[in-house]
Amino acid sequence: MVELDVIASINWNAAYGERLREMRGKVSMQQLADEVTQKFNYPVTKQYIAMIERPFGDKASKTVSFQLLRYICNILGEDVQDIFGSPKIIQKSFPIKTSGP
């Protein structure tokens, strides 16, 4: 088993992007980006979310921050493990960044 806190990034592909898009459902990319930025103090744009949902072309990211995926899934009320369809991964803690007092 692997603790989620030790995973820095995920080698990303179109299947993961499609699954993330399905998980997002009717939540707009802008709303998702705003909520991740506000709740976790993790700046992300709707353009970046669009790129990871449809990772095609030379400029598409080949890796995605696992921390960002965890934040996105938290906002969507989903389990990050559902993106991958793989065996369960243990989660020891879920640190949340804050922007001061």
- Please indicate, yes or no, if residue 99 is contained in any of the structural domains: no
Q: Phi and psi (nearest 5°) for 71? A: -65, -45
| DSSP letters spanning 66-77 | HHHHHHHHHHHT
Domain membership of residue 88 (yes or no) is no
Domain assignment of residue 89, yes or no: no
Range of the domain at 40: 4-83
Total number of domains constituting the chain: 1
Q: What integer is the mean pLDDT of 21-30?
A: 96
pLDDT, tens digit, 9 for 90 and up, residues 49-70: 999 999 887 878 889 999 999 9
pLDDT of residue 64: 95
Give φ, ψ of 9 to 5 degrees. -150, 165
CATH of the domain at 59: 1.10.260.40
Q: Is residue 32 part of a domain?
A: yes
**Residue 59, C-beta contacts closer than 8 angstroms, at least 6 positions apart:** 51
Residue 46 lies in a domain: yes
State the pTM of this model. Answer: 0.79
- Residue 61 bridge partners (DSSP): none
How confident is residue 72, by pLDDT bands cut at 50, 70 and 90? Answer: very high
Residue 95 has pLDDT above 90, yes or no: no
Residue 30 in domain: yes
Q: Per-residue pLDDT averaged across 33-42, rounded?
A: 97
